Structure 1
Amino acid sequence: MIRPTTLLLFCAILASSQDQKASQNKKVVYTKQELPLVAKVRALSELPYGIRGSMAMSIALDIHRLPASLNKLRLADSLAFVSTAGDPGQATLQEVATTLADALREQPGKLDPAYVDLAQLVHYEHVNVSLDDPKFAAAMSRLEADDQHRREVDFTLADLKGKNWTLKDLRGKVVLVHFWASWSRPSWQEMLDLEGLYQRFKKQDLVVLAISSEKLELVANYVKLQKITFPVLLDPEQKVAQLYKIVGAPKSFVYDREGKLVAQAIDVRTQKQLLNMLEQTGLR
């Protein structure tokens, strides 16, 4: 689940997460049994999508076999954080979620961000877990509230040529709102995949609105280099990102012709996955 930068927040979870009552400066010390798993989790996001799913499954099973400890919970949460990019497969995501849920059950209340990460797996990746914990229930409720807000949101932003685009004015069209950043390597391929889908479906009234908070010159150079033809909008103060409760990129939201939010992704998606999202609007 990608946040402001995958690298920075991944390191924060893996190296700095700790007991809520402990000092934030306390160094995390991993055992000899845990250190190889630390290295594997760190390397996971650099692997090609084709092998990432099987590797994530293997790591999840190895973490699951560790004795109960706060470090086990840290590892399980770190794996959840990096395992959703691309298409790792539903079986892999289920094992990652099960491992995290079991680790939370063993160490209740010890790592609050882990409840949010588990809730995101359940809510957005459609896995099933059983965890009777008020913090998990609260995290699920927050995500449902965020979804309700996104169903009702409206915004107006200007594109690179100064033209204003208003979401609600696009009723009658299929709209894919995509938050991206040029510094996010996963965004590079996803933007090209979106361009391919836009060319395929624009005659069926598909509108792609790619939103960036970066500077005009940087965004314009990227768009020119990659030959992106769909509207790229500027959100320099991140006001629209805040409306969508966005923390990091990429994120995608698909609205059907009636303006109903029908699909969303909280991480980078393959072109096939993006196509599946669009198909929920009736595009074929």
Structure 2
Amino acid sequence: MNQRVIKLLVFILIVGMFGFFGYSMVTKGKHTDVGDKAYQFELPNLDGSTTKLTDFKGKVVILNYFASWCAPCKEELPELEAFQKEYGDQYNLLMINRGETMDKIKKVTDNNKAGMNYLFDYNAKVSKLYNVTGQPETFVIDKQGVIREHYNGVITEMELYKWAKKYDN
């Protein structure tokens, strides 16, 4: 390659890097994580109405991002169902799905026999604000609306209970 082409490629690379870093700086303030106030959202739920995070003001809330095709999510589901059965009246577990249909979730959960609160983030807008990078991914929000835990991976019923209890003061 001649010198002119190399210089042009280096210039394009540098401009691209500055563009990427500039975009990252602009969007950085729109994310929440541990220690931040939880982003308020409203999402459709399995019965066709909507659920808002503000519906649970003053209560400990657990958000769990999942997908029906995700093997670790399938492994985790019995633990979450056990948590819901045992502690669902004390702590609010919101199961958030990205991109799948209500019919699909009804089918894979046997028409929601466990009585879980499934929400649908179709365009992934809320998951982007929460910095969700995969699934399963779990957040614990305290009574003041602050994110206290953010965990990537499979979680057990007892781990969830310990976190919920820890922030229930």
TM-score normalised over the length of structure 1: 0.45
Deviations 1:104-153 (Å, cap 9, x if unpaired)?
xxxxxxxxxxxxxxxxxxxxxxxxxxxxxxxxxxxxxx8xx742685341
Q: 1: distance between equivalents of 2:119 and 2:79?
A: 18
The within-5 A match list for 1:213-228 is 213=98, 214-224=100-110, 227-228=113-114
- Structure 1's unaligned 5+ residue stretches are 1-141
1:177–1:252: 8 Å Cα contact kept in structure 2? yes
- 1:274 positional shift: 2.0
| Greater length-normalized contact order (CA 8 Å, ≥ 6 residues apart) | 2
- 1:225 positional shift: 5.8
- 1:235 positional shift: 1.2
SS in 2 for 1:147: coil
Query: Residues 203 and 149 (structure 1 numbering): CA distance in 2 closer, same or farther, change over 3 Å?
Result: closer
Other-structure match for 1:177? 63
Out of 88, 94, 98, the position equivalent to 1:209 is 94
Out of 253, 260, 277, the position equivalent to 2:139 is 253
TM-score normalised over the length of structure 2: 0.72
Q: 2: distance between equivalents of 1:223 and 1:244?
A: 25
- 1:261 positional shift: 1.6
Q: 2: distance between equivalents of 1:149 and 1:238?
A: 22
2:75–2:154: 8 Å Cα contact kept in structure 1? no
Q: 2: distance between equivalents of 1:225 and 1:169?
A: 24
Q: 2: distance between equivalents of 1:172 and 1:154?
A: 13
2:106–2:112: 8 Å Cα contact kept in structure 1? no
2:67–2:73: 8 Å Cα contact kept in structure 1? yes
Identity %: 27
Deviations 1:174-202 (Å, cap 9, x if unpaired)?
21111001111111132221121122223
Q: 2: distance between equivalents of 1:150 and 1:199?
A: 29
Out of 133, 156, 168, the position equivalent to 1:270 is 156
Q: 1: distance between equivalents of 2:33 and 2:53?
A: 16
Other-structure match for 2:72? 186
1:192–1:228: 8 Å Cα contact kept in structure 2? no
One-letter amino acid of the structure 2 residue matched with residue 211 of structure 1: I
- Structure 2's unaligned 5+ residue stretches are 1-27
Q: 2: distance between equivalents of 1:191 and 1:178?
A: 10
Count of aligned pairs = 139
Q: 2: distance between equivalents of 1:162 and 1:203?
A: 22
